[in-house]
Structure 1
Amino acid sequence: MAVSTSPTSLGSEPKLRKELLRIHDDHQVFTSFEAFSVQLPALMQWGRHRHDASTCVALLGLLEPLSGVQIEPRWIRISRDNLRESLLAGGCLSRHRAITRVLEHVGESLTSLRDQHIYLPETSTGFVDWLRRHHIRNLEVSDFLQDAEIVPVGVGNHQNLCALTYSSHRFDLVICNDVFEHVYDLPRALEEVYRVLRPGGRLLATFPMAFGQHENIIKAEFRGVQQMALFRGEPEYHGDPIRPTRGSLVYQIPGWQILDLASMIGFSAVMMHLVSSWKCGVLGGDLPGVFVADFLR
């Protein structure tokens, strides 16, 4: 756990105390880039204190969203290099707890989730294990197994998010944890998620976001199953448990354009939550917290 700030130095400056209190448990909702851009300077300022906030987690532990479990500091692993991808506790990362914090925000509980049909395009992750440990049994999980180096046994099936085989209106909730940057046709993937959601169903998604601009950043273009992707610049790959050697190719980094796209597809309400909460172990990269897309069918 790479945290070096001592308890006696934490919050020694009044301004630092104020900023830490601001991101103790902050939740903001934005429906457009224009609304977000007004707040961006202040958010960047608060983001400068995210490492001090991680020290609070290291000293005090965290309160797990939905379960209400208090996790002691000794059971938390923190990497100061990438807080969004660390703060590992109970099998979940910072961005996973952002998802569960949003679920709390919209009125869900572990009890209500047990009555829902839920789909996740992931199988071999701590987040799936966490849901099952809390008896969220009505889960459908899958992986995109094309070119996989490791094929999970007995934990799911092959699904292409751009061409799902599920029947329409099957699920109450779809959760996509850092998946959209890897799909080769983002509009088609959103159309498919919309199709398999029942009316009133919800999509929650995290992804590395180009939060400072409206347009998506295109990194690669799909040219067919038998053809190499057309790269715009150096190819980018992210870690993938079923592709541990080469990782998973990044096709785009979504910007605020994804809200417009979801609206055009037919989602009735589209928004971005920004969850910043060292109380719950949700901290981000440049900004103090983690973005969660919330699209209601």
Structure 2
Amino acid sequence: MQAETRPQLMPSEGVLALHDVLRSYSSFDDFRPELPALLQQGSLLKDCIAVTQALGLLEPLTGEHIPPEAIQIQGSNYRESLIANGLLSRNRAVLRLLEQAYGTLGSLAQQDVYLAEALSGFALWLRRHLGEGRLVCSEYLEHSEQAFTDIPHQDLCALTFADASFDLVLCNELFEHVADLESAYREIARVLRPGGRLVATCPLAFGQREAIVKARHNPSTGEPEHLTEQEFHGDPVRPHTGSLVYRIPAWDVLDQLQEAGFSEARMHHITSWKHGVLGSDLPGVLVIEAER
């Protein structure tokens, strides 16, 4: 009896071009001319997902092949909904950039790393692969809805670490929730060693230069002053109330990082159905990188 064979998947030329792409930009002026073409490529996302669902993906840094049956897709915003090994698409974008920067998991494990989260799948992944000897994880525990006795509290605007403590700082989906983001940038620069780097993701107003400010901290009352309709994102520390969005950063984040003490700041757009890095409106994920 003839063995059953799966139908051959024949991706289009446009989809094949998105198998593994990393573009870097130093300013909005560099990015803006490419934006129309990138938005047009966004129409290929469903076809890219079809390839990933047929072939599986290669996890960055580990090189582990994750088969199609181990991949979950929980919605059309693939930046957040393409899940494998506990990692989201945007998490794998960060790993892909770290792979470009450090080469191997062993090399990354030789760095002193601060991750400003502790309860996420990404934190679990890092602890599993890097160990805890040179990795520090924390959460912002003010107004926590439950007790976390085994997780250290850190305020990104007033970190307790000594100067030049880390080679790498990772911030995933935090900048939009920080009331005084410029202070946070200065603190991150302070705790990084010369040559160290910040790698971060956050929701981005990618089509404009200036951030969308939704709320401001009122120092006289200690409470936020809302400028638009309130927006909250899910937060494992505050599962009922969520975390307030103060601003949606935009391309001015690169100038602000340099003003805070970083020697260079770039935005990377990473697209790769091969590695399970796919986006929403854009075909891939934007990742911020700044060097001390």
* Contact 1:113/1:136, CA 8 A, preserved across alignment: no
Q: Which amino acid aligns with 1:44?
A: L
Q: What's 1:180 paired with?
A: 175
Determine the structure 2 residue equivalent to 1:241. 236
Deviant stretches of 4+, over 2 Å: 7-11, 150-153, 224-228
Give the Å deviation of 1:227: 3.4
Match of 2:245 in 1: 250
The one-letter amino acid of 1:51's match is K
One-letter code aligned to 1:293: I
CA-CA distance at 1:225 after TM superposition = 8.7
SS in 1 for 2:137: strand
**TM-score normalized by the length of structure 2:** 0.94
Aligned 8 A contact 2:102 2:108 in 1: no
User: What are the Cα deviations for residues 93-135 of structure 1, in whole angstroms up to 9, with x where unaligned?
Assistant: 0000000000111233210121111001111111111112113
| Among 257, 266, 273, the residue aligned to 1:262 | 257
What is residue 150 of structure 1 aligned with on the other side? 146
1:166 pairs with one of 153, 161, 177: 161
Q: What is the deviation of 1:8?
A: 6.2
The one-letter code of the counterpart of 2:177 is: H
Partner of 2:191: 196
Structure 2 unmatched runs, 5+: 1-5
Q: Which amino acid aligns with 1:56?
A: V
Identical aligned pairs, as a percentage? 48
Distance in 2, matches of 1:237 and 1:169, equals: 33
Q: Which runs of 5+ in 1 are unaligned?
A: 1-6
Note if 1:85 corresponds to 2:108: no
AA aligned to 2:37 is A
What is the aligned counterpart of 1:60 among 38, 48, 55? 55
Give the residue type in structure 2 aligned to 1:157: P
Provide the C-alpha distance between the structure 2 equivalents of 1:187 and 1:292, rounded to a whole number of angstroms.
18
Q: Supply the RMSD in Å over aligned alpha carbons.
A: 1.6
- Provide the secondary structure at the position in 1 that maps to 2:83: coil
Secondary structure of the corresponding residue to residue 233 of structure 1: coil
Aligned length: 286
3-state SS of 2:193 partner: strand
Q: Distance in 1 between matches of 2:80 and 2:121?
A: 13
**Paired amino acid for 2:135:** L
Matched ranges for 1:1-297 at <5 A: 11=10, 17-137=12-132, 138-154=134-150, 156-224=151-219, 227-297=222-292
